[in-house]
A and B are shown apart, each in its own frame.
Chain A
């Protein structure tokens, strides 16, 4: 794995490379969407970790959201398809685990897109979770009616990254992207 140089001012979440050739490939790869949440790009998610063009060779690294997330396979294939379609013949997509992905890397724009799509965005930041055996969860806002009068139906939802909630005001169920 060759870690690309990162432009000053870019975040840990979106380490866009500095050199023009790599940037061009990054911008292409960055358009690939999450197959389960198609409003989010892998760049919005912070899953795209590096793109390095070295001569004719292009190396892309992705990091999984969850260790067993099956969507990684689709993302890998889509990155390959997009780059090959743009004329990059020699493309390798690798998976890295460190540093571990966190919902803190999700872009503000991505969070807004999530809510519009009907999925509540992660509330608060990951990191040290409160001590104690039984935890309290911050209120999650309903993406439909913005009510805070919601309750968790199931901690584990339709995909690894989501929990299932219901709104007690508009009575609709909705997905919540868990803080990780």
Chain B
């Protein structure tokens, strides 16, 4: 990895298996080959809350969707450390990434229990088609305005999602969401402040904000598409289509105040939930996974 990032450190610190494990195959589905594995970080309780701790297959798949979104976005944001326009922003984006890593850990831990995989198995040993992230989260950092545009959309979507998921019939998902929503609220605020500052700043910053928003907007639609899985998780999952209006309504006043129009144009076909990804995910995973794959079971 060319640049040590906080994201890597956080994931890795949360991570790594204690004993030497033999080389593993491409897509790692089983726990076999691990030997005795300890997670050298805070051991997430087998039960984050009282109640059944192992998700059904469908719930596990849903947790994987949400966990992948957070982890991919956190990995993207980690790149900014040492590169943001000012030191405070370095720290802000690093902190936001850290929150997202926390959400991803809880969600992947829960998603993996069903198939006897750890959060690290899911983070480091799945190849691209097995990922379930939506395209928005995979989009490149671009310039700072692109990153802010992505944050603005992501944080508003996640806030509306977690607000409702906190009432899920699934106690574990509800607990994770109730925790996450408070943190995402700060992310939302952060993004809104920057949208205003860039859009109402100089001609240059305004032009970049308009460009960033225009480039990211095609990926908004995918967030609100109901996949068949959702039909099987009534009361457990939040139906994505029901989030479209509240998320749009939450973004509209900020755009209005920033004197920006909601971009119109082409809509990306998406497909992340089915394993069809943008061209950005492959290289991102290669960087994120290289260390774990080069040194299986390494710890520090």
- Which residues of A does B touch, CB under 8 Å? 1, 3, 61, 64, 66-70, 72-73, 76, 93-102, 126, 129, 132-135, 153-160, 164, 178, 180
Render B93-109 as a binary contact track against A, CB cut-off 8 A, 1 for contact: 01110111111011000
A164 to B91, CA, bound (A): 11
Q: Does B34 sit at the interface, judged by CB under 8 A?
A: no
B45, B186, B196: the one within 8 Å of A155 (CB): B186
Are B50 and A1 in touch, CB under 8 angstroms?
Answer: yes
A68, A95, A129: the one within 8 Å of B43 (CB): A95
Knowing A129-B185, A178-B186 are in contact, say whether A100-B179 is a contact too (CB < 8 A): yes
- Which residues of B does A touch, CB under 8 Å? 10, 13, 41-50, 88-89, 91-92, 94-96, 98-103, 105-106, 171, 174-176, 178-180, 182-183, 185-186, 189-190, 192-193, 196, 250, 253-254, 257
A129 to B198, CA, bound (A): 25
Are A164 and B10 in touch, CB under 8 angstroms?
Answer: no
CB distance from B250 to the nearest CB of A (A): 7
Are A96 and B49 in touch, CB under 8 angstroms?
Answer: yes
Are B91 and A154 in touch, CB under 8 angstroms?
Answer: yes
| A contact face: mostly helix, strand, loop, or mixed | loop
B contact residues around A160 at 8 Å (CB): 95, 98-99, 183
CB distance from A176 to the nearest CB of B (A): 13
Knowing A133-B257, A134-B196, A156-B96 are in contact, say whether A66-B183 is a contact too (CB < 8 A): yes
B98, B106, B186, B193: the one within 8 Å of A97 (CB): B106
A126 to B49, CA, bound (A): 22
Knowing A73-B13, A133-B257 are in contact, say whether A98-B175 is a contact too (CB < 8 A): yes
Are B183 and A133 in touch, CB under 8 angstroms?
Answer: no
A contact residues around B193 at 8 Å (CB): 134, 155
CB distance from A179 to the nearest CB of B (A): 9
A99 to B254, CA, bound (A): 32
* Most B CB within 10 A of own CB, among A64, A97, A134: A97
A contact residues around B196 at 8 Å (CB): 134
